[in-house]
Amino acid sequence: MLLSRRLFKAAAIGTIGLGTFASLRANEYDIGSIGIVRLGRAAVTVFVIGNYYQKHLYKAKVLKGTEEYETLKSEAHKFGAQKLLELCCANKGVYIKVGQHIGALDYLLPQEYVTKLRILHSAAPQSSFNDVLTVIKEDFKKDPYEIFDSIEKDPLGTASLAQVHKAILKNGTSVAVKVQHRSVKTNAYVDVKTMATLVKITSWIFPDFKFDWLVEETQKNIPRELDFTQEGRNAEKLENLFKDYHWLKIPKIYWDISSSRVLTMEFMEGGQINDVDYLKKNGVNFFEVTNKLGRLYSHMIFITGFVHSDPHPGNILVKKNGSEADIILLDHGLYADLTNEFRWEYSKLWLAILDGDKDAMKEHCTKLGVGDFYGLLSCMVSGRTWDTIIHGVQKKKYSKTEKELFQKEIPNLLPQISNVLQKVDRQMLLILKTNDLIRCIEYTLNTQSRMNAFMEMSKCCVKSVYGEKFKYSQTNLSRCKLSFSEQWTLFKLSLYYVYLGVLNFNILKCVDSLRNKDFYPI
């Protein structure tokens, strides 16, 4: 018995040793990359953040709701956000991805965390150029310079899981080569398990906050994003679905020099969609850009159900093409593939929000899993305050004051928001992230009060709802009636927006003349 225990102990130690050696080898013998070290960093960070909140906020002899308490809370959030950013940068990979997700939830988390972690959208840590060449060599079993005539050492951009380099093929064609960080796949499984443990600890320290949904989403999405062949297929599928959108450009995939860790694409130039100076310099109409973006994403969400779910500014480029602007969509690794049932229910929820119909909002939120929090989910979906929703989101312009009021209330509602995110239909999570990223772009370009986006979204919602009715229609007569009803509804919708437009005709006419003159945002 004693001998068997010793053998078991020796085998366990040997297994851990071999696993550690394999991890070290995959990470070029970087001690900091070992699973236990990464776990240790994360655990220490959680302890330090939790201790700071306990000491400087929860045990402070300050009354909740006072200005002093709000100041202390903001300082605690800033401290926690900085420590979380440092952890993400140290552990890289999956941690960067989670940090980016947090940085995208502009309307759902404290602004201190969102602002700090948004840095990761454009400043993720880089892999060495030697690592880039090694990954290419490992995947294609040949020297990279047998494939490419040249590869630029400095990346065009760096993300959580990969970085992109400009290269020239042997025939002189310029391409963009996306190369996965060498160690990210090795560390991904351990990182997700680590985060699951840390979230349980965090929930124990802060019982009001439930972040299991974030781990679940990461666990589900990371394997998909780590397979670049899936990303290539997503890009081609989207291009086929939107082939009639002549202004939407998707880079061509070079399949003969692509693998699960290397994706070679057509090289496309343009400025980031939130680069105000670039848009001004190139005479790009800000309203045209956000209208096209709104039209594209409304069609994705409400009509096709195939949604590009990482529209942060680094993944969307704009390029002037004659008298109009092209939208270039990059990074097709993460997509929401919505079921018809979810898409139809979400469309009905949006129509209820646009109508200010509380009963309908409650009904559709219940079907999405959070009937008790229908008001909160409606605000999260629309990014508007409850007062605005009740009085008509189409009638009231979105303002800086409303944004500030919305974000001021978020810290007071975090336990409820956490509850919604835990209970709501899982498909909603990527949609909420996508909505927030789009709104962030609109806010940067100062086009959030546009009328056309609501019109396009409303039309897509109507088409989606009638699509459900058509599916269950069994006779030609009923289908004819539905077709007439759909067209009549769309016509009435158009009349309504014409009516709203007439009210502001002089203002819009002035805006148009100014835009035609210098293309600057108003």
Q: What residues are labeled active site?
A: 310
Tokens read off for 105: 């939830």
Q: Residue 260, Cα to own-chain centre: how many angstroms?
A: 22
CA distance 210 to 510: 49
- Mark out the alpha helices in 368-445 (DSSP H runs): 374-382, 386-391, 400-423, 427-445
CA distance 214 to 321: 40
Spell out the residues 6+ positions from residue 367 whose beta carbon is closer than 8 angstroms to its own. 345
Give the SS3 label for residue 246: coil
Tokens read off for 472: 């269950």
Candidates 295, 230, 275, 259; CA nearest to 122 is 275
Please name the residue that has the structure tokens 């310079």: 145
Helix (H) or strand (E) holding 514: helix 505-518
Spell out the residues 6+ positions from residue 224 whose beta carbon is closer than 8 angstroms to its own. 230, 333, 334
Tokens read off for 131: 């690592």
Please name the residue that has the structure tokens 């002089």: 506
Cα dihedral 54, 57, 63, 69 in deg (nearest 10): -170
Q: Residue 381, Cα to own-chain centre: how many angstroms?
A: 14
CA distance 392 to 516: 30
Q: Residue 165, Cα to own-chain centre: how many angstroms?
A: 23
Spell out the residues 6+ positions from residue 14 whose beta carbon is closer than 8 angstroms to its own. none
Candidates 331, 294, 326; CA nearest to 310 is 331
CA distance 390 to 400: 19
Tell how many helices (H) and how many strands (E) occur in the chain: 21, 11
How much is the CA Rg of the chain, to the nearest whole Å? 25
Tokens read off for 141: 């079993």
Q: In sequence order, what are the beta bridge partners of 319?
A: 326
Q: Residue 237, Cα to own-chain centre: how many angstroms?
A: 19
CA distance 228 to 163: 12
